[in-house]
Amino acid sequence: MSRIVYSIFKRTLDIFGAIMGIVLLSPVLLVVSILIKLESKGKVLFSQKRVGLNGKEFKIYKFRSMVENAEDLKKNLEDKNEMSGPMFKIKSDPRITRVGSFIRKTSIDELPQLINVLKGDMSLVGPRPSLPKEVESFEPWMLKRLEVKPGLTCYWQVSGRNSIGFHEWMELDIKYANEMSILVDIKLIFKTFLVLFGDKNAY
């Protein structure tokens, strides 16, 4: 299949999938928005600069899962980072709210990125978008992942996520960049649903 045909299919799938997702999940989006607002002060949506296709920066959207001043508090937690490489993540992050903990475990916090998919910043399938400062720390071979539009799900997302080291994560993204096709995209979307419903064998 030619790259042009694949690109048309991928964009069509993105638009259809994003619209269907927003419509079908609108009750969930509404309830989560209310719960976030009731638990802590601050905006319902959290936006942040990420690096997309060909290194172009864009604003990503998420449901806010942390307290309002989370970025300021991060400075005091740098020594507790449990991720290798330039990524930052700790299991018992004190900045995460109760609602935030639930929506992170279920990946509900990522649903506003359907807006990014509609806008064309992201795709349903593709490497997770990195922060600009993370990209600055990439080794040259890792930059190939920027040749692909970032996505909601990818090999890393269905392969254990935080249990995977940084280098293996990057290798999985390069694997997708080299193998991306209609079949691979459909397979990853299917596996994502299995993982969301607790099927660990999908890993």
Give the span between the Cα atoms of 30 and 76, in whole angstroms: 33
Longest dimension (CA), the chain: 51
127 falls within a domain: yes
Other C-beta atoms within 10 Å of 163: how many? 8
The torsion angle over the Cα atoms of residues 174, 169, 12 and 199, rounded to 10 degrees, is 130
**What amino acid is encoded at 149 in this protein?**
K
Residue 164 has what DSSP assignment? S
Domain that holds residue 184: 3-196
In a domain, 202, yes or no: no
Question: Is residue 201 included in any domain, yes or no?
Answer: no
Question: Which residues does residue 153 pair with via DSSP β-bridges, in sequence order?
Answer: 125
Q: How confident is the model at residue 203 (pLDDT cuts 50, 70, 90)?
A: very low
Token pair recorded at residue 153: 């799900």
pLDDT tens, residue by residue, 132-173: 999 999 999 999 999 999 999 999 988 877 678 889 999 999
Give the Cα separation of 133 and 88 in Å (integer): 11
**88-139 pLDDT, tens digit each:** 667 778 888 999 999 988 889 999 999 999 999 999 999 999 999 999 999 9
Domains in the chain: how many in total?
1
Strand residues in 3-137 grouped as ranges (E): 45-51, 57-63, 123-125
According to the model, what pLDDT value does residue 118 have?
A: 97
Contact call for residues 186 and 158 (beta carbons, < 8 A): no
Q: Is the dihedral of CA 10, 14, 62, 163 positive or negative?
A: negative
> What is the pLDDT at residue 85?
65
